[in-house]
Amino acid sequence: MMASFPTAEKAADLLALVRGRRPRVHCLMNTVVQKFTADGITAIGGIPSMTSSEEEIESFVTKTDALTINLGTLDEARRKVIRIAVTIANRQGKPWIVDPVHCDYSPSRLEFAHELSRLHPSIVRGNAAEMAVIGDVGGALRIQTGAVDSLSDVDRKVRIVNGHALMAKVTGTGCLSGGIIAAFMAVEPDAMLAAASALTVTGVSAEIAARHASGPGSFEVAFLDALFNLKSEDILSHARIEHDED
């Protein structure tokens, strides 16, 4: 059976599912953008949690529906907690995504990103510089975000053309997209369909937000509003999802 390709209709349906089921998303998130990520996951309909405490991580991962692991502001304590979280998520069959922030800056962070890539994440997502040094991600869905987001697994290559240049002027939009992808994976087992839908929703919301923005400050505010208010018809009319024909 052929794997199916993402569509605007699928994105709209999955957004409705996220809002209906309200999945829990646990975030092992850098300290810089914890609130922005939590606000974005809430805006889209999910329920975020954020602790990185070693004695609490098992309880929180056991309660969550999906996990996003962000390597910003990484130290030995966070590495240890991430290993525990991944072990539990794998044992419980929960989807998780790795966001190897700035692994092109730091050898120790890159080494850890490689370690995580071998532990069967659902998705590895980074920008061009990060994905260049990451290299192979095993069986995971590979996502390179930028002006155009490129997604690839063994069967499919997909591009999401939605988005806006102001996203790069607000710290944490990439980190937040990891959290939103996790929320979509909680309601859709095919990581490609989940991630492409999440990135379409994020990109269309950014386009709507940019119409109301006069700079990065007002864009961030309008972006949270747009995620919260996004309608199926917005997705259907704005989505620009491309894929290579077989």
| The token pair that represents 221 in the structure block | 């505010």
Least Cβ distance, residue 66 to its own copies (angstroms): 16
- Pick the binder of its own copies from 123, 193, 226, 241 (CB under 8 A): 226
Provide the 8-state DSSP code for 166.
G
Instruction: Tell me which residue has tokens 């961030």.
Output: 220
Least Cβ distance, residue 211 to its own copies (angstroms): 13
Instruction: Based on the shown chain and the rule CB under 8 A, indicate whether residue 55 belongs to the binding site for its own copies.
Output: yes
Residues 143-182 that bind its own copies (CB under 8 A): 169-172
Work out the burial of residue 139: count CB atoms within 10 Å of its CB; fewer than 13 is exposed, 13-18 middle, 19 or more buried: exposed
3-state DSSP assignment of residue 239: coil
Instruction: Based on the shown chain and the rule CB under 8 A, indicate whether residue 106 belongs to the binding site for its own copies.
Output: yes
Amino acid sitting at position 178? G
Has 211 been labeled as part of a binding site?
no
- Taking the C-alpha atoms of residue 195 and residue 22, their distance in angstroms, rounded to an integer, is 17
* Residue number with CB closer to its own copies (4 or 59): 59
Instruction: Based on the shown chain and the rule CB under 8 A, indicate whether residue 74 belongs to the binding site for its own copies.
Output: yes
With b for 16 or more beta-carbon neighbours within 10 A and e for fewer, the 80-114 pattern comes to ebbeebbebbeeeebbbbbbbbbbbeeeebbebbb
* Residue number with CB closer to its own copies (73 or 152): 73
| The token pair that represents 9 in the structure block | 């209709």
Please report the DSSP string for 175-200 in residue order: HHHHHHHHHHHTT-S-HHHHHHHHHH
What value does the CA radius of gyration of the chain take, rounded to a whole number of Å? 16
Has 50 been labeled as part of a binding site?
yes
Contact window for its own copies (CB under 8 A) among 1-9, 35-43, 154-162, 196-204? 35-43
* Residue number with CB closer to its own copies (109 or 156): 109
- Pick the binder of its own copies from 12, 14, 60, 130 (CB under 8 A): 60
Beta-bridge partners for 28: 69
- Taking the C-alpha atoms of residue 154 and residue 139, their distance in angstroms, rounded to an integer, is 8
> Taking CB under 8 A as the rule, which mask of x and - marks residues 109-148 in contact with its own copies?
x---------------------------------------
- Taking the C-alpha atoms of residue 117 and residue 18, their distance in angstroms, rounded to an integer, is 27
* Residue number with CB closer to its own copies (123 or 206): 206
| The token pair that represents 56 in the structure block | 């609490």
Instruction: Based on the shown chain and the rule CB under 8 A, indicate whether residue 59 belongs to the binding site for its own copies.
Output: yes
Residue ranges for the known binding site are: 50, 125, 145, 172
> Applying CB under 8 A, which residues contact its own copies?
30-36, 38-39, 42-43, 48-56, 59-60, 63, 72-76, 102, 105-109, 169-172, 213-218, 220-229
Residue ranges for the known binding site for ATP are: 125, 145
